[in-house]
Structure 1
Amino acid sequence: MTESPVPSPAVDLVELTVETAQAAMAAGTTTSEALTQAFLDRIATYNPKYNAILFMNPNALETARAIDRRRAAGETLGPLAGIPVVVKDPMDMVGIPTTAGWAQLYSKTGGVDLMPATDSPVVARMKAADTVILGKTNVPILSHTGADANDSFAGPTLNVAAPALLPGGSSTGTAACVAASLAVLGLAEETGGSIQNPASAQGLVGIKPSHALVPNAGVVPLSAHRDVVGPIARCVRDAALCLDVLAGFTAEDPKTIAGVGHKPKGGYTSKLSKDALQGKRIGLYGAGWRNQPLSDEAASLYVRAQEELAAQGAVLVPDPFAGSGFAELRRQTVPGQDFDARGMESVPYDVEQYLKRLGPDAALKTFAEFAEATKADDAFAPGGALHYMTYARQFAACLANPSLPPDLSDFVEAREAYMEIFTAVFAAEKLDGLCFPQMRTDLAGLHSGGRIDETTVSEINIAGLPGVTVPAGFYASGAPFNLIFVGPKWSEAELLAQAYAYEQATHHRRAPTLL
């Protein structure tokens, strides 16, 4: 007996939203199976060119069919039931290896497979929400860069909006999948720009949450004290719906107790309104935040964005951090690189804790075993992906004894100083948020060796603050120009509301023409 063919999904996959997909499934005009099959067909067509997905989920269609059966039986379904999504490779998912884009951690490229015994909490939450996980997405080696995935064992991922330019990293594949409508939503993760950079580079909405709002246990770490997991989507509402699923306490990640009491009543969509910018005091980018000017083209685009914000009733506050000492807190901890790595000294210890969680049958159980298994491409040696961490003052002691909790006094001092000034400026200027260009310049070429010139990495990463990116136009090159809304810890609902009001007033997001 042969299975009957899967019917057409009866919805347009390009720029498909959660709301439209769920309405079609509720009305019976499509099914989760039909939607999933259509996305799988689209992936088969376009992924060979864009190289966004590393591993397909062999259970995707069966998951979709099970959701359809439960829907037909009248069962209560999860809040994202039937929605096809992707997750970033470093997030543990049972049945699929966690490679972090590194040949050393994949058996088919001569490495060792890390096969998790349990899902990471964020993957488990997406499953519990009844999403259909289509696959895991491409990243640079150990998520080490915010620019691209060029050194991944699978090769580069292209920028869907501007294929000749940098796609952003390290959540490169997730952004490309969402930008190309190969999935409705995607999970990303950030230590130093890895959500905001690819979301902005590809013209998408990305939420970099407050540190400790979303669990990141079961995710290959760069810094347990900076790492955050968040969604990338094509519209603000979809990103907010995904954050509803991700946010909250789990005993698997004790730091998430800090977020208890900070989730908004009614969820992260509860404050979305086209009038959300009316009367809001919004701080603008300036030398008080960071003494790095915008390029002429970025400045021109930002002037237009300010006019759009003002048209929605926002009260604009020029350079509110002027004279505060905020910009002087920034350090270039890596010679020749505009990056502050404080907080990442702990990576050997954090990796050891991650390996312990993989389970008793894991191929590697300690950092020492990890280092031995990957010594052919030592990540911390000169030329290695994470060599830049060796410049952090307290890194050597952690590397010498990864089982001992590390000295993070430099990081703690930096976070405290950032938060003290940030809080004081917000109070003195009566600010409701900040709105900056996420990038200071146009994107460099894909293979130029360039970096993304951003405005909020690593300030908000060290401080643990949230940010929401939103499309705001395009450079002449075709590269997207995005804004980032930034606010105090736990202010995601307010930032999403501001971003939503701007998005609905301007509609700068546009579907790319695919190769």
Structure 2
Amino acid sequence: MRLSRVLLIAAAFTSAAHTFTRAAELDLSTATILDLQKAYDAGLTSEKVVEVYLKRIAAYDQAGPKLNAILTLHPKALELARALDAERKAKGPRSLMHGVPVLVKDNYDTFDLATTGGAKALAGTVPFRDAFTIARLRAAGAIILAKTNLDEFARGATGTSSLGGQVLNPYNLEKIPGGSSGGSGAGVTALFGWVGLGTETGSSIRNPSTKANLVGFAPSEGLVSRAGIIPISITYDRAGPMARSVTDAAITMSIMAGTDASDLFSYKGLGKTPSDNYLSSLKKDGLKGARIGVVRELFGTEDADKPAVELIEAAIKKLKDAGAVVIDPLPVGANLWDLVRETNYGNAENRVALEAYFASRGPQFPIKTIPDLVKGGVIGRLQKRYDEEQSAAEPTGNAEYIAKLEGRFVLQKFVHELMDRWQVDVLVYPHETKPVRTIADAVPNKGETPTPPNDARSRVAGNGNRISTASGMPAMTVPAGFNTDGVPVGLEILARLYDEPTLIKVAYAYEQANPQRKLPATTPLLGIEKITY
């Protein structure tokens, strides 16, 4: 569908867009997709935008701080941009994503670029078709600008792979960028692309988004197909956008979402995406009358948590000041951390999911089994994990596995009933309040033998909250400020299953009331980011 109807809708919600500094200037560091489309309509070309991003990648990923966020640049990015510019001129834009440069985590299949999961074993292997989400984005006119570095096969939280090495955090080069979508996080915040794609099985969209001062959008289970994405879990895997604004995350999500016969989980989301690209949810006054529950059980309480908790307290005050009815604390009546810990898929799904993916790459794909993968070359820390998963019991008839999945449904039901009981629209809590570990602490031997968090650290509130992970309910992290080490802190917002419109409405209104986006000092403006046309 061409964009005429969508643009009419967008015009009706002009409050969602930022105003230009000048009538003929676009600032890539502050503009949204809505601003970009207006600039394109007025004569700016996507070729010019891609040129700016390529120059910033050369300056800061390949030189300067050498963030190491990019694995592969698309060799025909400028050619693709020129073709889309010509099409726009002749026929008009395809969608709000027409001409938008996207950074893609390198576990999404792309028919024209290698998909490696960051593993040396898969170096140079190019799929014969796109992942479902990539195909939708291309059809909408998006430009696949680059594939990003990640924790190898998305198994980790430090941004380390055998093929790509260590991603650096642009806000503090000594700290981990979060993972597993660390390259997409670092790349988007450093202005290497307009939006990024992440995946998560634990919190690998929201965790690196928080540490990169971005909006991380983990959708309801089944809203977005996982077909064509290197898997970890059949039930827990999710895919979603990482962006510099709620507006951009919402628009990108509206394109990614869709029902797909190759991922039957996606039938759960059938009919759950609005036809207006979520634009009607982008209301500056969206907090007026909203009922919000503060889950104090998910706050860290140690001295080390205090600086981040203070930022979250300030964010909650902004919610109140903007007209929200805040129930603080929300009486939970149970230990959510215990419930989350008891809800897990274990090792039962990993081998069958990964080997099904290998088969989907076709008969010429060199890897058929996990032993093939290990033999071909993976980062050292994965070898033991894959050995354990290779010997794990099959899911079918596995009583322990079935009990864990039933626990997930119990948690999901419990959270919904809790929200219904107190008549709240969303729950809020910090995504993480523990200080971010240094690369030297987390990855002492270049990724081969990372030091895991100790038991006390990994089991207390404030260290990577995973209630959304365990329940499959949609969540979004939105910037809340910067910790004493310069690394960003994020407020996490959780909504009911398939209530993405309410989630977006609350997150957008909070973002407008408490803007906390800031370009990292390590990747300053080059003087080319404000484009005149």
* Shorter-chain TM-score range: 0.7 to 0.9
Alignment partner of 1:173 is 2:183: yes
The reply on whether 1:47 has 2:42 as its aligned counterpart is no
**What 5-or-longer segments of structure 1 have no aligned partner?**
1-8, 107-112, 333-339
**Paired position in structure 2 for 1:385:** 382
Distance 2:174 2:326 in 1: 35
Q: Shift of residue 386 of structure 1?
A: 6.5
TM alignment of 1:217-228, pairs within 5 A: 217-228=227-238
> Residue 296 of structure 2: SS of its match in structure 1?
coil
Give 1:312 deviation, angstroms: 0.9
1:87 is paired with a residue whose SS is strand
Q: Tell me by how many angstroms 1:252 deviates.
A: 2.1
**Residue 123 (structure 1) aligned to one of 124, 134, 153:** 134
1:65 maps to which residue?
82
CA distance in 2, matches of 1:26, 1:376: 49
Partner of 2:34: 19
Query: What residue number does 2:366 align with?
Result: 363
User: Does the alignment pair 1:164 with 2:174?
Assistant: yes
Instruction: Evaluate the alpha carbon distance shift between residue 405 and residue 120 of structure 1 in structure 2; reply closer, same or farther with a 3 A threshold.
Output: farther
Q: Secondary structure in 1 aligned to 2:115?
A: coil
**What one-letter code is carried by the residue in structure 2 that aligns with 1:447?**
A
In structure 2, relative to structure 1, the CA distance for the partners of 1:303 and 1:389 (3 Å cut) is: farther
Q: Is it true that 1:95 corresponds to 2:112 in the alignment? A: yes
**1:249-398 alignment to 2 at 5 Å?**
249-287=259-297, 295-331=305-341, 341-364=344-367, 366-367=368-369, 370-375=370-375, 384-385=381-382, 387=384, 396-398=392-394
Residue type matched to 1:359 in 2?
Answer: G
Take 2:383 and 2:295, find their aligned partners in 1: how far apart are those partners?
31
Q: Are the aligned partners of 1:298 and 1:440 in contact in 2 as well (CA < 8 Å)?
A: yes
Letter in 2 for 1:410: A
CA distance in 2, matches of 1:487, 1:389: 34
Residue identity in the other structure for 1:220: I
Q: Which amino acid in structure 2 is aligned with residue 411 of structure 1? A: K
How many Å separate the matches in 1 of 2:385 and 2:366?
A: 27
Residues 1:193 and 1:153: Cα distance change in structure 2 (over 3 Å): same
Contact 1:204 1:470 in 2 (8 A): yes
- Please report the RMSD computed on the Cα atoms of aligned residues, expressed in angstroms: 2.5
Paired residue type of 1:419: Q
Cα distance in 2 for residues equivalent to 1:486 and 1:446: 30
Question: Partners in 1 of 2:32 and 2:282 — Cα distance?
Answer: 16
Check whether the contact 2:207–2:464 (CA below 8 A) recurs between aligned residues.
no
Pairwise CA distance, 1:342: 2.7
Counting matched residue pairs gives: 480
| Conserved 8 A contact 2:339-2:411 | yes
Residues in 2 aligned to 1:447 and 1:217: alpha-carbon distance in whole angstroms: 35
Give the TM-score normalised by the residue count of structure 1. 0.87
Distance in 2 of aligned mates of 1:498 and 1:103: 42
Q: Tell me whether 1:133 sits opposite 2:136 in the alignment.
A: no
Matched residues in 2 for 1:417 and 1:390: separation? 31
**Does residue 493 in structure 1 map to residue 527 in structure 2?**
no
CA deviation after TM superposition for structure 1 residue 435, in Å: 1.1
Q: What TM-score, normalized by structure 2, do the two folds share?
A: 0.84
> Deviation digits for residues 443-471 of structure 1, max 9, x if unmatched?
12122116597556433212111111111
How far does residue 258 in structure 1 lie from its aligned partner after superposition? 0.7
Q: Give per-residue Cα distances to partners, 1:15-55, cap 9 Å, x unaligned.
A: 44212222111101x21111112211221111111111101
Q: Distance in 1 between matches of 2:224 and 2:409?
A: 21
Preserved contact between residue 54 and residue 137 of structure 1 (Cα < 8 Å): yes
Between the aligned partners of 1:17 and 1:69, the Cα distance in structure 2 is: 22
Contact 2:37 2:96 in 1 (8 A): no
SS in 2 for 1:97: coil
From 228, 249, 253, the counterpart of 1:243: 253
8 Å contact from structure 1 (residues 140, 170) kept in 2: yes
Structure 2, unaligned runs of 5 or more = 1-23, 443-451, 524-533
> Does the CA-based 8 Å contact 1:16-1:184 persist in structure 2?
no
Q: 1:145 & 1:23 partners in 2: Cα distance?
A: 39
3-state SS of the aligned residue for 2:440?
Answer: coil
1:424 equivalent in alignment to 2:434: no
